[in-house]
């Protein structure tokens, strides 16, 4: 285990609109507000065609190939995430969502494109004095480092 200590800073509440792409809006907002590190809470709706990464096809393979699921209809979503700068200084979010419709639910990473249906609410709490950053590994994943 590795860790860094941080203190909380500014908090923001965002309302995302129908058709916006979740991670793109959050990352753009972070750039505009000069947010280097943050924790995220998300709830709202995901539109048909949204894509979640639902794990690796083979987690022990030398090169990890992601497995994705495309939502077949609108779903309710709730999720949590983080946001840190990468090696190039770009704000990169990592958000995991659970998406449900009726008695069916799926959980995955929102990185491949979750399109908002109607509305989503996001709470961003900035983290100050945090040394964590994202660095690429041999698979191309931007992993958290301290």
Q: 7-145 is classed in which CATH architecture?
A: 2-Layer Sandwich (3.30)
pLDDT of residue 45: 98
Could you tell me the pTM of the whole model?
0.95
Query: Which pLDDT tens digit goes with each residue over 53-100?
Result: 999 999 898 888 999 999 999 999 999 999 999 999 999 999 999 999
Greater confidence (141 vs 68) lies with 68
- Residue-range domain boundaries for the chain: 7-145
pLDDT of residue 12 exceeding 90: yes
Whether residue 49 has pLDDT greater than 90: yes
At residue 74's C-alpha, the angle toward residues 68 and 78, to 5°, is: 75
Banded model confidence at residue 142, pLDDT cuts 50, 70, 90: very high
With residue 125 as reference, give the H or E element that holds it: strand 116-128
């Amino acid at each position: 285990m590795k860790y860094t200590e941080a203190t909380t800073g500014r908090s923001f509440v965002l309302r995302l609109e129908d058709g916006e792409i979740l991670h793109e809006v959050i990352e753009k907002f972070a750039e505009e507000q000069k947010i280097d590190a943050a924790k995220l809470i998300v709830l709202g709706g995901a539109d048909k065609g949204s894509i979640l990464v639902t794990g690796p096809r083979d987690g022990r393979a030398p090169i990890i190939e992601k497995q994705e699921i495309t939502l077949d209809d609108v779903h309710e979503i709730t999720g949590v995430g983080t946001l840190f700068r990468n090696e190039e200084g770009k704000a990169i979010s990592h958000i995991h969502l659970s998406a449900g419709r009726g008695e069916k639910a799926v959980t995955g990473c929102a990185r491949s494109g979750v399109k908002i249906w109607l509305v989503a609410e996001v709470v961003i709490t900035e983290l100050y004095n945090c040394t964590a950053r994202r660095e690429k590994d041999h698979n191309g994943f931007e992993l958290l480092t301290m």
